[in-house]
């Protein structure tokens, strides 16, 4: 520690409950009013930090750690995904990295299923029609969508959020197949009645492909033009993990050309930008990275991050560590 009171740098606004926890043990710096700090400015305020609380928009790498200096003990990422953090570079310097698994599972699965309903039942398109004051009248052929009952959900990555998505699909009368790096435990497969398939078979059979794998070097552009071409022309893609798992230009082309029927997207390859080709299409439901955006979930995420900081500063093991 640089002095007797630890310095805790928080990169962006977090809920008050979490700030209060941090203030119990240290002197907390956060941008007031809230704003995204350019890296150089963030690095300046990091000098002398014992702990940092960051969001997925900040790049946490060797330069970040070096800007903080040798006192930095812990970086708590307020997100479950940690592709923004160079975990090996921090581990090399003895810095603990933590994330926030578990507490955002239901909120994220809710958004994934919400986007799926939105695109299959054309809710956004219908709302745009009404708001544009376009004349309409009820008739039996008007704005027909696709039902989900009896269809197959293909989950890519049957982790906590993938399982929560599968459970929602089950409740809607869908059957579940999944793919991933490894088979899920037998009891998980049994409770979701989920069948493991190699990725190419899943893409060829699923009516809905929902992505729940982390972004890694292996999963970057996992869904590219070839993968999209392997999907059924009647199938939908849902992405609530990280934008770069999908080749967004290839997706825009596939949606335009009818290679697949539609998509529901909460995340984008170059956030906050959205591929312009997607913005003009009606067969895509869009949300601005709202997966975990409820008051309850964001409070739970930030307090978990704060508890991780408190644990490490007290010399105790963190609650949810990310290991290289």
Residue 87 contacts ligand GLV per CB under 6 A: no
Q: How many angstroms separate the CA atoms of 39 and 57, rounded? A: 10
CB 71 within 8 A of CB 50: yes
**Contact stretch for ligand GLV (CB under 6 A) within 78-86, 114-122, 203-211, 230-238:** 78-86
Give, as ranges, the residues between 280 and 309 that touch ligand GLV (CB under 6 A): 291-292
- Identify which of residues 79 and 109 has a Cβ nearer to ligand GLV in the complex: 79
In terms of DSSP bridges, do strands 7-10 and 51-54 run parallel, antiparallel, or are they unpaired? Answer: parallel
Residue 101 contacts ligand GLV per CB under 6 A: no
SS3 310: helix
- Identify which of residues 77 and 152 has a Cβ nearer to ligand GLV in the complex: 77
Provide, rounded to whole angstroms, the least separation between the CB of residue 244 and ligand GLV.
13
Residue 213 contacts ligand GLV per CB under 6 A: no
Provide, rounded to whole angstroms, the least separation between the CB of residue 245 and ligand GLV.
12
| Residue among 49, 48, 55, 44 nearest 11 (CA) | 55
Q: How far apart, in Å, are the Cα atoms of 56 and each of 33, 132, 179, 224?
A: 19, 35, 26, 24
Sole binder of ligand GLV in the list 6, 26, 81, 157 (CB under 6 A)? 81
Residue 104 contacts ligand GLV per CB under 6 A: yes
Residue 115 contacts ligand GLV per CB under 6 A: no
Residues touching ligand GLV: how many (CB under 6 A)?
7
Sole binder of ligand GLV in the list 56, 231, 237, 245 (CB under 6 A)? 56
Residue 79 contacts ligand GLV per CB under 6 A: yes
Contacts 24+ apart (CB under 8 A), 24-32: 24/310, 25/309, 25/310, 25/313, 25/314, 26/50, 26/51, 26/313
Q: How far apart, in Å, are the Cα atoms of 190 and each of 125, 140, 176?
A: 37, 40, 11
Provide, rounded to whole angstroms, the least separation between the CB of residue 90 and ligand GLV.
18
Enter the DSSP assignment of 290: -
Which residues does the annotation mark as catalytic? 242, 271, 289
Residue 162 contacts ligand GLV per CB under 6 A: no
Q: How many angstroms separate the CA atoms of 22 and 97, rounded? A: 17
Provide, rounded to whole angstroms, the least separation between the CB of residue 259 and ligand GLV.
27
Provide, rounded to whole angstroms, the least separation between the CB of residue 270 and ligand GLV.
15
- Identify which of residues 287 and 312 has a Cβ nearer to ligand GLV in the complex: 287
**Contact stretch for ligand GLV (CB under 6 A) within 19-27, 76-84, 254-262, 316-324:** 76-84
Provide, rounded to whole angstroms, the least separation between the CB of residue 100 and ligand GLV.
6
List, in sequence order, every residue forming a beta bridge with 236; answer none if it has no partner: 208, 262
Q: What are phi and psi of 27, to 5 degrees?
A: -95, 120
In the chain, beta strands by DSSP E: 7-10, 27-29, 51-54, 74-77, 96-98, 152-156, 175-179, 194-196, 208-211, 236-239, 262-265, 284-286, 321-322
- Identify which of residues 231 and 287 has a Cβ nearer to ligand GLV in the complex: 287
Interface contacts to ligand GLV, rule CB under 6 A: 56, 79-81, 104, 291-292
């Amino acid at each position: 520690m640089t002095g007797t009171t630890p310095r805790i740098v928080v990169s962006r606004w977090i809920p008050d409950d979490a700030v209060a926890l941090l203030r119990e043990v240290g002197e907390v710096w956060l941008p007031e009013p809230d704003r995204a700090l350019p890296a150089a400015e963030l690095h300046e305020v990091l000098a002398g930090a014992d702990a940092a609380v960051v969001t997925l928009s900040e790049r946490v790498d060797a330069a970040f750690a070096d800007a903080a200096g040798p006192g930095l003990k812990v970086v708590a990422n307020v997100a479950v995904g940690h592709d923004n953090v160079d975990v090996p570079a921090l581990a090399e310097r003895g810095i603990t990295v933590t994330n926030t698994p578990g507490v955002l599972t239901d909120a994220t699965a809710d958004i994934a299923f919400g986007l799926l309903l939105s695109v299959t039942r054309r809710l956004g398109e219908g709302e745009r029609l009404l708001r544009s004051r376009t004349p309409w009248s009820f008739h039996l052929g008007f704005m027909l969508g696709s039902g989900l009952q009896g269809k197959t959900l293909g989950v890519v990555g049957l982790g906590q959020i993938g399982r929560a998505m599968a459970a929602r699909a089950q409740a809607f009368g869908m059957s579940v197949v999944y793919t991933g790096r490894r088979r899920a435990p037998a009891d998980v497969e049994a409770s979701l009645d989920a069948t493991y398939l190699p990725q190419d078979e899943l893409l060829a059979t699923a009516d809905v492909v929902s992505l729940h794998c982390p972004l890694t070097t292996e999963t970057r552009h996992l869904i590219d033009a070839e993968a999209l071409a392997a999907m059924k022309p009647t199938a939908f893609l849902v992405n609530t993990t990280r934008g770069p798992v999908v080749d967004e230009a290839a997706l825009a082309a596939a949606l335009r050309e009818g290679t697949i029927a539609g998509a529901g997207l909460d995340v984008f390859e170059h956030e906050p930008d959205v591929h312009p080709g997607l913005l003009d299409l009606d067969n895509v439901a869009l949300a601005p990275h709202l997966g975990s955006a409820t008051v309850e979930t964001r409070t739970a995420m930030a307090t978990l991050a704060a508890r991780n900081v408190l644990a490490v500063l007290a010399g105790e093991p963190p609650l949810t560590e990310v290991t290289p």
